[in-house]
Amino acid sequence: MPDYELRVNGKTRTARTDPDTPLLYVLRNDLALNGPKFGCGMAQCGACTVHVDGKATRACVTPVSTLAGKAITTLEGIGTPDHPHPLQKAFLDEQAAQCGYCTNGMIMTAKVLLDTKPNPGAAEIKQALAGNLCRCGAHNRIVRAVQRAAKAAGA
């Protein structure tokens, strides 16, 4: 198995695995990152979403061999409990979750939206999150959290 050098959350990390190994398993198992979650393995639900060069990417279908020289960011990379990203803070302020399994994908997808469009309307947020599944029915809270984060970032 070859070694792959990955740039994750600003640090260079190495993983020894097969070229077709989905990035998700390397992040979770080799790098001990909990943010991205396994949901479907088929890019259908969004729970595994990470950023690759600033783009929302489904880690469950992204082979590790395709990531040389690219910047990978996970939920852990955008903020910490002590220094949360405005989205992380807004999700707490709005209590925008029930089980929280989809939360990673929601925050990571919303961040890309806010990076490109700082003040989206509710309809735009819903459209941006249309490919992220939530089963508990926290959708409206999530939309409010994204709006709140947008306001906080603009303030």
Partner 1 sequence: MNPQPNRPSRRAFLKRGGVIVATFSLAGPAAVAQPRAPLPGSLNTNRGLDGWIRINANGRVTIHTGKCELGQGILTALAQIAADELDVAYARIDMVSADTARTPNEGMTAGSLSVQNSGTALRYACAEARSLLLAAAAQRLNVVAEKLSVADGAIGASPGRLTYWELAQDLNLKREATATVKPKPPARHTVIGKSIARRDLPAKVSGGAAFVQDMRLPGMVFGRVVRPPSYRATLLSVNEAAVKAMPGVVAVVHDGNFLAVAAEREEQAIKAAQALRISAKWRETPDLPPGGAGLYDHLKKMPSRDTVIKRVVPAAASGGKVLTLEAEYTRPFQSHGSIGPSCAVAQLKDGHYTVWTHSQGVFPLRTDLAKALRTAVSNITCTHVEGSGCYGHNGADDVACDAALLARAIGGRPVKLQWMRDDEFGWEPYGSAMVIKMQAQLDEAKNIVGWQHETWSHPHSTRPTSRPDGSFVLGGWHLAQPAPPSTPNNSPQPSGAADRNAVPLYDFPHQNVLLHFITDMPVRTSALRTLGAYANVFALESFMDEAALAAGVDPVEYRLRHMKNPRARAVIERAAQAAHWKAGAKGDGSRGRGFAFAQYKNLAVYCALVADVVVDRRSGAVRVTRVVAAVDAGLIINPDGVINQIEGGIIQSTSWTLKEQVNFDQQRITTRSWADYPILTFPEVPEVEVHLINHPDENPLGTGEGSQGPTVAAIANAIANATGKRPRDLPFTPEKIRALSA
The minimum distance between CB 124 and partner 1, in angstroms, equals: 10
Judged by CB under 8 A, does residue 31 bind partner 1? no
Could you say which of 29, 66, 116, 119 contacts partner 1 (CB under 8 A)? 29
# of chain residues touching partner 1 (CB under 8 A) = 62
Asked if residue 104 lies in contact with residue 49, where contact means CB atoms within 8 angstroms, the answer is: yes
Phi, psi of 93, deg, nearest 5: -60, -35
Q: How many residues does the chain have?
A: 155
155 binds partner 1 (CB under 8 A): no
| Nearer CB in complex with partner 1: 36/52 | 36
Query: Segment 88-127, which members bind partner 1 (CB under 8 A)?
Result: 88-89, 91-92, 95, 97-104, 107, 123, 125-127
Q: For the segment 50-89, give every residue that binds partner 1 (CB under 8 A).
A: 74-76, 79-82, 84, 88-89
- Residue 57 CB neighbours (<10 A): 23
Task: Transcribe the chain into DSSP letters.
Answer: --EEEEEETTEEEEEE--TT-BHHHIIIIIS---SS--S-SSSSS-TTEEEETTEEEEGGG-BGGG-TT-EEE-HHHH--SSS--HHHHHHHHTT--SS-SSHHHHHHHHHHHHHH-SS--HHHHHHHTTTS--SSS-HHHHHHHHHHHHHHHH-
Of 40-48, 51-59, 112-120, 147-155, the segment contacting partner 1 by CB under 8 A is 40-48
Residue 52 or 132: which CB sits closer to partner 1?
132
Interface ranges with partner 1 (CB under 8 A): 1, 17-18, 21-22, 25, 28-29, 32-35, 37-42, 44-45, 47, 74-76, 79-82, 84, 88-89, 91-92, 95, 97-104, 107, 123, 125-127, 129-143
